[in-house]
Amino acid sequence: ATPGTISGPAQTCEDLTDGFSIAPVSGATSYTWTVPTGVNILSGQGTNSITVSYSFTLLGDICVAAENNCGTSSLSCLSIDVQPLPSASQAIFGPSQSCEGATETYEQTFPIIGVDTYAWTVPPGAVITSGQGTNTINVNFTGPTSGEICYSTSGPCGLTPDSTCLTGSVLPTPTAGQAIFGPSQTCEGATETYQQTFPILGVDNYTWIVPPGAAITSGQGTNTITVDFSGSTSGEICYSTSGPCG
């Protein structure tokens, strides 16, 4: 007679060892099992119960026929789905440099077989505003920071043993809050130096202005200028700043 239903997992994982069996068939003296490529019979061929392992992910049928010296039965089959272990090997796409207050999108764009949940982490000063659990998140940078945006994955076959990360930095909005050092009183015809001595994060350009009767002879665009006072004058020497964030 054709063997009855095969007992065993219809969905399993590539790192497991599983057993499949049937109830004994009356009159059968042996059993022949056939398995898909990628499934390895470790023990039990010829009996009503086998143990198998898996070389890779696959879809296929495990089948068995009963035999004796009068012939071979029809096959009884079970379809199996061997799922992969989840991984986090696909790169993260998104800006590696952003601005304080900005909201940016980070994503892993290629679906990974065997993954149904993504767990994201972001550095202090960043907040995930949407998308946790999916392959795409939106991140608001509440303050200047640097660090790694990472994801790990999970699925029917467990958790990722490692994470994939993107290192980034968040620049602040540029400011002009540092004092100017230089003489507040000088002489007609003199050349003086004025500077802002403390580097400001997020600033790559300084724009200076001087009063009428004074001329910037060098340093415009930097944190230090030389000013020629060609005539007597009074007024303000000022700077503003700019950078990637405005």
Distance of CA 188 to the CA centre of its chain: 61
* C-beta separation of 170 from 145 below 8 A: yes
Q: Rounded distance, CA 151 to CA 170, Å?
A: 19
* C-beta separation of 217 from 230 below 8 A: no
Which residues, other chains included, contact 89 with Cβ-Cβ below 8 Å and sequence gap of 6+? Answer: 112, 164
Q: Is 147 exposed, middle or buried (0-12, 13-18, 19+ CB in 10 A)?
A: middle
Q: Rounded distance, CA 215 to CA 211, Å?
A: 8
What pLDDT is stored for residue 174 in this prediction? 83
What pLDDT is stored for residue 220 in this prediction? 97
What pLDDT is stored for residue 112 in this prediction? 77
What pLDDT is stored for residue 111 in this prediction? 73
What pLDDT is stored for residue 209 in this prediction? 97
Q: What is the mean pLDDT of each run of 10 residues along the chain (246 residues)?
A: 96 93 97 96 97 93 97 97 84 93 92 85 95 96 89 89 89 83 94 89 90 95 95 90 89
